[in-house]
Amino acid sequence: MNTAEQNPSSWGRLAQTCTFRDGGWERWSGAEVHVVGAGNLGQRVALEAALAGARVVVYDFDSFTAENAATQWGRPGLAKVEHLARQADVHAPGRVLGVARDIRNVGIGRLARASVLIDCSDDPNLAVPLTRISNGLGTPLLRGALAGDGIQELGRVACSHGGEQHSCQLCTYSADELIRPTRRQPCAGAPEPVREPTRAGGAIGMAIAGLALLQAQRLVTGNDLELVLDREWIVDLSRGQLLPLRRQRSRECLSGHVRWTMALLEQSATDTTLHELFEEAARRFDLPDSTEIVLEFYGHPLCREVVCSCGEFKPVCGTRWMPAIPCPRCGTRMSPQLATALDWLTEANTQELGIRERRLVQLGLPDDGAMVIARAPKKQPQRLVLASSTEASRETRAPSPHRHDEAKP
């Protein structure tokens, strides 16, 4: 039976297009597309990918504001991913999952399920962490961007796939660019902006979203890969140009193009303490105890105090995503001090800090597959990926008539 006969009322015609030839439709319909950002670009990519039959996971911690109304859909004050999931469920029931979380606080275990990652965030600070994750997992990453000066109708889609012997987006980075932080536009009500917000219309947003979707489909189906891998496409609607640029893989890339070997644990961050994690690492290293073991929580350094704008500070251990702590003096949410955060821990440290029996999720580690790097003398480091918690995390999916087990958001 051919694809058209299997899907006579929905994707039959789509499956017969050039992009989905040679069994491509079967691969695409079983794919999981992970989109970072639910704004002008990400909203369109996610909706079209779901409409075309893929399962989609969208990450964005922002809420919709009146300033978004000209290029996005939503309701003021409502999480962007919540509105997007509800909207998608009208035409693509159950195929869009919204995660209202910073992508840097999403577990590697969850991201490992992605067939392709698409960064639509407009956040330059994500270039390094997302590229390292893409390289480590061997998962292709597409980076879509819109010109933000409001003068040109310009955008681009670049492919990064360093973990599979192709160029990654860090291949052209210098050491200065790799370590220099770039501040992004804060959310409404936050302190003064430190850079101009992106100014781009829906027209260029639709053009780049369409190109990003096509490139994602090519990556997943395996068709026309020469048009995607080691490529950056520029769309210039101001001058009527479509430019496919070649990107070179660098042997001196500062990312190292490191591909990860991971071990999956049965324990989750919700039900595992630090002491238990050290014991598990000792067992895997075949050591009598955990005295010499060092643990690094990937992307989650451990802060030792929180501070408030009023000057109050408090010794507290946890990552920057630990549960909120109100200031005892003024009631304002206190901020973790990243400057003095610990990148690694020994079990002796946990005893000194009084967190030996603290559960990992209480420290602010994600409950959907956090990764911990364990090290011991004369042993190869091990990347341990915790199981996803069975408890509900901060996600939203619109109620679907085909998914009676889901609660309404």
Write down which residue in 257, 272, 305 finishes a domain: 257
Whether 407 is in a domain gets the answer no
Write down which residue in 206, 227, 257 finishes a domain: 257
Based on the domain organization, do 335 and 251 belong to the same domain?
A: no
Based on the domain organization, do 160 and 215 belong to the same domain?
A: yes
Three state DSSP letters for the chain: CCHHHHCCCCCHHHHCCHHHCCCHHHHHHCCEEEEECCCHHHHHHHHHHHHCCCEEEEECCCECCHHHCCCCCCCCCCEHHHHHHHHHHHHCCCCEEEECCCHHHCCHHHHCCCCEEEECCCCHHHHHHHHHHHHHHCCCEEEEEECCECCCCEEEEEEECHHHCCCCCCCCCCHHHHHCCCCCCCCCCCCCCCCCCCECCHHHHHHHHHHHHHHHHHHHHCCCHHHCCCEEEEEECCCCEEEEEECCCCCCCCCCCCCCCEEEEEEECCCCEHHHHHHHHHHHHCCCCCCCCEEEECCCCEEEEEECCCCCEEEEEECCCCCCCECCCCCCECEECCCCCECCECHHHHHHHCCCCCEHHHHCCCCECCEEEEECCCCCCEEEEEEECCCCCCEECCCECCECCCCCC
Mind listing the pLDDT tens digit of every residue in the chain (409 residues)?
333 344 445 788 888 999 999 999 999 999 999 999 999 999 999 999 999 999 999 999 999 988 888 888 888 989 999 999 999 999 899 999 999 999 999 999 999 999 999 999 988 899 999 999 999 999 999 999 998 788 889 999 999 999 999 999 999 887 776 666 554 444 444 444 455 677 888 899 999 999 999 999 999 999 999 999 999 999 999 999 999 999 999 999 999 999 999 999 999 999 999 999 999 999 999 999 999 999 999 999 999 999 999 999 999 999 999 989 999 999 999 999 998 899 999 999 999 999 999 999 999 999 999 999 999 999 999 999 999 986 434 454 443 332 223 322 2
Whether 180 is in a domain gets the answer yes
Based on the domain organization, do 388 and 322 belong to the same domain?
A: yes
Whether 176 is in a domain gets the answer yes
Tell me how many domains the chain contains: 2
Whether 403 is in a domain gets the answer no
Based on the domain organization, do 384 and 340 belong to the same domain?
A: yes
Whole domain around residue 361: which residue ranges? Answer: 262-392
Whether 10 is in a domain gets the answer no
Whether 234 is in a domain gets the answer yes
Based on the domain organization, do 58 and 109 belong to the same domain?
A: yes
Whether 6 is in a domain gets the answer no
Entry pTM: 0.88
Whether 397 is in a domain gets the answer no
